[in-house]
Chains A and B, each alone.
Chain A
Amino acid sequence: MKRKALLLVFTAVLALAPAARANEFLLGFTGFDYQFPNANPSVYYDLGEGYNLVGFVTSVGPLLDPYVDTSVNEYTINITNLFATNRTAFGSFLVVDFSNNGRGTYYADPLSGGTPGTYGINPPNATSPSTFTDGSMRLTGDIDGFRLTFDFSTNQGNFSGTMTQDGGPDLIYIPPGQRGGWTLGGLAGRPNGTIPNGYDNQVSGECQVLETPTTHTSWGAVKSLYR
């Protein structure tokens, strides 16, 4: 009986292991970004102005997949607490660096009885970011080294920052050694019919976590672990 139980456990672990090891993708999202505070509206990310993003989690990787059910919940995302500390223009390009300790968080809000994420216009407003942050907080992380680049000639840009997952009930699904990673996004500015008034860009993005570290070893070394 003990052998049978061991066989079951071993088989289940064996089957689950490749899924956790093989993919760095944590979650993907779409949404819209905006500046707040925006003390100088005529300047795109003047010093001190804040980067904010609201949107929806649109896909998840193997680490979170077993715990996400879009037939029950709406999943939203919010990136905030990033303030422009340096901006440099090169022709049509602008490169902006932001302060550390930004925050990226995803939430689950019941489809039945919850509040649908609603962008509205000219955020912050009565529904944004509030309807994107009023669900159950599932996972949150610290964002450092956030840099945004935008080309005003093509109305295209991108951002990235290192991200360390550090809170929320879903943190237990991410092995401690994989909680570091990064977030990155592609920005599509106007002309773009989907962007609500007051938002800057349409965003597609991802959060990635580090691959499980592995080391080469021999069967002899493995056997010695059990002696």
Chain B
Amino acid sequence: MKKSFGVAVALTLLAGGIASNAMAANCDSGEMIRFAQNGFAYETNYNISTYTSTVGSQLSIVGIVDYFCTPLASLVPDATKEYTLYVTGLTSQGTQNPVPGIVYTCAYTGGTWEIHEGSPKNAPTAASMPPLPDPTVPANFIDGPIVLSGTLANFSTQITKSGTSASGSFRADYVATGGTYFSQVGGGQALFQGVWCPTPKPSGCVPATYSAHPDGKWDVPPTTPTLPSTWGTVKMLYR
């Protein structure tokens, strides 16, 4: 019986492991950091039934990174270590409805972002996102050291209603400004963009109390990382 119980436990762990395994990197052209099903946005003053963000509403995003690509390919989530993202400080300029009843857009000013390396893996996933407020959001997404951080500009969301469903996108420019891996990325500007699913569950993909489900990526900055120097220092290299 003891042996059977052991096998049962092993099967349980195996099944759980299968369900929680992150897919290894399948990097696409230009992408640097990818997150997908485990990304969620929330706002301080947002009406999800009308896709309306009130002027001044504060938008935040939490999520779990699926994988990293060059130049951060050495960062690999594993069984005990997760990489999480936290975007915050985005201030709504108010939702516009430029195509009546169909398209809803919203621009946000400001914004900072952080990628944390956390262990143990304690960030809630798509299957376990708790209703807000909750002590684990954003706490369990920011409880490890920062590997990369930066600022955002021109963050905007666009939502299109089609029949009873809706879909959307987000787009912003980012620069990295800090973190233990900053020197590998540099301060060049690149895109932070992806899907913005705005429809609440059960028919959509947004858990109760959240405003959207983003799924996207940071692209590789186009510029080579540089460090400030002087002519004297450069000359020293050749002496």
Residues of A within 8 A of B (CB): 4, 7-8, 11-12, 14-16, 18-19, 22-25, 28, 30-32, 55-62, 65-66, 68-71, 74-75, 90-93, 95, 119, 145, 147, 149, 151, 154-160, 162, 182, 184-188, 192-194, 196, 202, 204-206, 208, 211
Contacts and interface: CB of A to CB of B under 8 A. Distances in A.
Contacts of B105: 151, 154
A154 B171 contact: yes
A95 B26 contact: no
B37 interface: yes
Contacts, number: 204
A22 B124 CA distance: 13
Given A202-B219, A208-B197, 13 more contacts: A12-B8, A12-B11, A12-B15, A19-B20, A30-B28, A60-B23, A61-B37, A95-B102, A156-B169, A157-B169, A160-B162, A196-B29, A204-B217
A8 B8 contact: yes
B202 A211 contact: yes
Contact of A15 (B7, B11, B156): B11
B15 A25 contact: no
B156 A154 contact: yes
Contacts of A12: 8, 11-12, 15
A119 B30 CA distance: 12
B167 interface: yes
Contact of A70 (B24, B126, B165, B219): B24
A57 B66 CA distance: 12
Contacts of A57: 26
B186 interface: no
Contact of A23 (B127, B158, B195): B127
A145 B36 contact: no
Interface of B: 1, 4-5, 7-9, 11-16, 18-31, 34, 36-37, 66-67, 98-99, 102-103, 105, 126-128, 156, 158-160, 162-163, 165-171, 190-191, 193-197, 201-202, 205, 215-217, 219, 222
A28 B25 CA distance: 12
Given A59-B66, A147-B160, A186-B194, A14 B12 contact: yes
B162 A147 contact: yes
